[in-house]
Amino acid sequence: MARTNTPALRGVLRNLRARPLTFPQQRLFGASSRCLANDKDKQSQQPSFKSQLYESTQQRLKRERAEQERFAQYQQTQSPGSRYAALMFALVFFSTGAYYLGSLKPASLPSSSTTTLQDLESPRHNVTPSNLQAAWVDFVEILGKENVSTNAGDLESHSGSDWSSYSAKENEKPFLILYPSTTEEVSRCMKICHARLIPVTPYSGGTSLEGHFASTRGGVCIDFRRMDQIISLHKRDLDVVVQPALGWEDLNEELAKDGLFFPPDPGPGAMIGGMVGTGCSGTNAYRYGTMREWVLSLTVVLADGTVIKTRQRPRKSSAGYDLTRLFIGSEGTLGLVTEATLKLTVKPQSTNVAVASFGSIANAAECVTSVVEAGIPVAGVEILDDVQMKCINASQSTSRQWKESPTIFFKFTGTPAAVKEQIGMVQKLANKASGKSFEFAKGEEEMTELWSARKQALWSVMAMRRGADDHVWTTDVAVPMSKLPDIIEATKADMTESGLLAGICGHVGDGNFHAIILFNDGEKKVAEGVVHRMVKRAVEMEGTVTGEHGVGLVKRDYLAHELGETTVDAMRRLKLAYDPLRLLNCDKVVRIEQPAPGEIKKW
């Protein structure tokens, strides 16, 4: 019988030994035995069947032991790096699987009403060149190549300005500038930015002062300059629908043809979008109020490209949440305003201006308080201190020379008889407050000349720069009217002691005043100290860190001192509700991630 070691046969033999033979098997093996009996010579020459069986089993066991020894040697000789790589592969594989299974169940919603900085991880933006270059193709398809700019000059001009109190860092520039012309185009651009995780900085007039349009996270800047039209004027309803890049001066020039008037009047060059964003006011605020009182409705593009309209055109409404007021003053952090419906009023029949000078800033502030307490309905009350008046004279920014002493500019509106009566009442109060002089305009040309000094306050200080490294810091605070003389006098003394060229001006009729400080790089710490103490005084007098400039980057960390940490945390929750990916005007108003050590000044 030929010797064999096939696995199949070995299996059969094992089964045979383990259990009794069946009848057919007995017959089969009986026949085999008879054949073997007839061939005794062959049987004597070959090992027995039992021997073959044991030998086959022994060889199989030896092979298994040898294989086990080789595997053990392989494990012992395998390098630690290889074992680590295998372990890491296993960890990554199982972690990925666990993450996928976990993602099948939505994360639980937050249960608190506020969001602290400790609750947040850093935002996950994608500003890699490849992602931004791919987005460029999408933007060009929407806006046309001529309305998507990567020009170095455009990027620089959209990063900051000479009159901003925030000095943009070298890396705080947008990758490209977009120039949409419709709400639909803005929406489509935002959908791309949302899908690609690209941060967005809005830009209209660029006249803001607290770092509002610094591209702190790179990404893209949306400039609304092509959206500068009056969409519809409703004369009988006294309202107008406009786009965000329409200047307030251009609007009033057009409205004057119909005897109408839009009262808010911030600095020259300001546009409606930025005025909504900061909730600005201006020289008419005492009589007419701030921007918040003159906006009826807004069309807003949200962070994911969704378009909403906050309400209809009636003068009042009790329908739901007041989203209009929510977006006013939000500085583009919650949504992008693409249309605004504004209230209008009838242009006054008569307007006049008067100028009164005083021996001290305290006397001037006391005069303002007296006018307010008397209830005289003047249209505007503006103050300029002696330093401001000296700068105006030195810069020759107006056509006349002024008394270089603290000066109040009054604006009167109404019927001719009412204006004349108001001037007489204010003149008496100015004399009572130790006024040194009082003059009022005799005609339209003289009125423009007198009021021009107030409008030239910022530019006159900028004209006094000594060199290329000189900067202008313009900031504002507001306090209750009864506290105004105290804070102005204390701030004036602090400025004088600092040795910096610094002046005071402002819309003091509602307790709001500004500081304009000239400094160079070596004097920056001194200027920061003056501003810090000015803000601290305002908060301690139950005032606000900004009356009309807005928060931006410079005033952001003062909000908690004015309002409390929990109020700021509530604002942060609103930010996350409207902009969960934190794409819109990053880092303005409230922080969106933890500050670096030492970044926040001690109070």
Cβ–Cβ under 8 Å, residues 264 and 280: yes
Q: Around Cβ 189, how many Cβ atoms within 10 Å?
A: 25
List b or e across 394-432, with b for residues whose CB sees 16 or more CB atoms inside 10 angstroms.
eeebbeeebebbbbbbbbbbbeeeebeebbeebbebbee
Looking at residue 60, its pLDDT comes to: 59
Cβ–Cβ under 8 Å, residues 408 and 383: yes
Q: How far is CA 500 from the centre of its chain?
A: 32
Distance CA 352, CA 412 (A): 5
Please return the burial class of 6, using the count of CB atoms within 10 Å of its CB with bins 0-12, 13-18 and 19+.
Answer: exposed
Distance CA 113, CA 571 (A): 10
- φ/ψ of 538, rounded to 5, equals -60, -45
- C-alpha distances (whole Å) from 363 to each of 115, 358, 366, 405 are 46, 6, 5, 11
Looking at residue 12, its pLDDT comes to: 46
33 Cβ contact partners less than 8 Å away, ≥ 6 residues apart? none
User: pLDDT tens for residues 27-42?
Assistant: 444 444 444 445 444 4
Looking at residue 531, its pLDDT comes to: 97
299 Cβ contact partners less than 8 Å away, ≥ 6 residues apart? 183, 307, 308, 309, 310, 337, 338, 339, 340
Q: Around Cβ 562, how many Cβ atoms within 10 Å?
A: 18
Q: Around Cβ 285, how many Cβ atoms within 10 Å?
A: 25
Q: How far is CA 65 from the centre of its chain?
A: 70
Looking at residue 1, its pLDDT comes to: 43
Question: Nearest-5° angle of CA 373, CA 408, CA 377?
Answer: 40
Cα torsion 295, 300, 302, 307: sign = positive
- C-alpha distances (whole Å) from 157 to each of 181, 398, 601 are 20, 28, 29
DSSP states of 362-412 as a string? Answer: HHHHHHHHHHHHHT---SEEEEE-HHHHHHHHHHT-SSS---SS-EEEEEE
Domains of the chain and CATH, by start: 7-72 (no CATH), 117-347+565-571 (3.30.465.10), 350-554 (3.40.462.10)
Cβ–Cβ under 8 Å, residues 588 and 331: yes
Quote the tokens at residue 602.
């001690």
Quote the tokens at residue 261.
């008037």
pTM: 0.80
Cβ–Cβ under 8 Å, residues 183 and 139: no
Cβ–Cβ under 8 Å, residues 342 and 239: yes
Distance CA 373, CA 57 (A): 115
- C-alpha distances (whole Å) from 576 to each of 262, 277, 558, 564 are 34, 18, 20, 19
Quote the tokens at residue 170.
């070298």
For residue 576, what is the enclosing H or E element? helix 565-578
Cβ–Cβ under 8 Å, residues 221 and 203: yes
- φ/ψ of 27, rounded to 5, equals -65, -40
Q: How far is CA 86 from the centre of its chain?
A: 45
Quote the tokens at residue 589.
């108003």
User: In terms of DSSP bridges, do strands 200-203 and 220-223 run parallel, antiparallel, or are they unpaired?
Assistant: parallel
**Residue numbers in the chain where pLDDT is lower than 70:** 1-58, 60-61, 63-107
Distance CA 187, CA 8 (A): 74
Distance CA 278, CA 276 (A): 6
Looking at residue 37, its pLDDT comes to: 45
Looking at residue 14, its pLDDT comes to: 54
69 Cβ contact partners less than 8 Å away, ≥ 6 residues apart? none
Cβ–Cβ under 8 Å, residues 391 and 460: yes
Looking at residue 161, its pLDDT comes to: 86
